[in-house]
Amino acid sequence: MANGGEKPLRKISEAFNDLATTVNSQESDLQLASFSHACSLVSPLFGCLGIAFKFAEMDYVNKVNDLAETSNSIMTLQALIDQDIQAKTVRKQGSHTRNLLRVKRGLDMVKVLFEKIIATEGDSLKNAASDAYTQVFAPHHGWAIRKAVGAGMYALPTRPQLMKKLNEDENSACVPMQSYITSSTAVIGYVEKLFLSKELGLDW
């Protein structure tokens, strides 16, 4: 939740624009420190969505914290995956590579949520949030979590309530949301390409 006039959407949009610039230049690998910092700015969004996304918030924050700590000893996303491949720990519970994949899904869900918010009208977030969850997280969750999330959807804030938490209104929020959609598409694509180039797949 934003305090004292902070505008988290602007911070997110600026950080991901910087990451996208690096990715699109193709001149250097993505730095783990700047990636994990940008991802940490997204964390408050999950908190603003209430109980339905509590599991996502806790899981996402833990994984981002792990990547941030790891950035003290590993410079790039590529080096992080290579290290796990060498140690044969890629798919182990708690591995950095597994955490990176989970964080990527969190970014993806926010991207789809913003797309749906921009494309729809009315005060309810339920359809936008349900669509984003179904598209990104549901295929990887068991029945119990899906059922709990479904129940939590009834406690979502309204769109005006969400905008107020973010210190925005419908009009002012559109620009940073659209900016994040564009830049995160490039960043998510970069991470997915890394996984696929090393034949790790994305569905685990």
- Asked if residue 202 belongs to a domain, the reply is no
- Asked if residue 41 belongs to a domain, the reply is yes
Q: What per-residue confidence (pLDDT) applies to 133? A: 94
- Asked if residue 197 belongs to a domain, the reply is no
- Asked if residue 198 belongs to a domain, the reply is no
- Asked if residue 1 belongs to a domain, the reply is no
How is residue 146 written in tokens? 């899906």
- Asked if residue 59 belongs to a domain, the reply is yes
Q: What per-residue confidence (pLDDT) applies to 162? A: 95
State pLDDT tens for residues 28-82: 789 999 999 999 999 999 989 988 888 888 999 999 999 999 999 999 999 999 9
Give the integer Cα–Cα distance in Å for 102 and 149: 17
Query: What residue numbers bound the domain in which 43 lies?
Result: 8-188
The CATH number for 154's domain is 1.10.3520.10
Question: Is the sign of the CA dihedral 169, 175, 179, 181 positive or negative?
Answer: positive
State pLDDT tens for residues 101-123: 999 999 999 999 999 999 999 99
Give the integer Cα–Cα distance in Å for 131 and 111: 12
Give the integer Cα–Cα distance in Å for 22 and 19: 5
How many domains in the chain? 1
How is residue 1 written in tokens? 């939740």
- Asked if residue 53 belongs to a domain, the reply is yes
- Asked if residue 31 belongs to a domain, the reply is yes
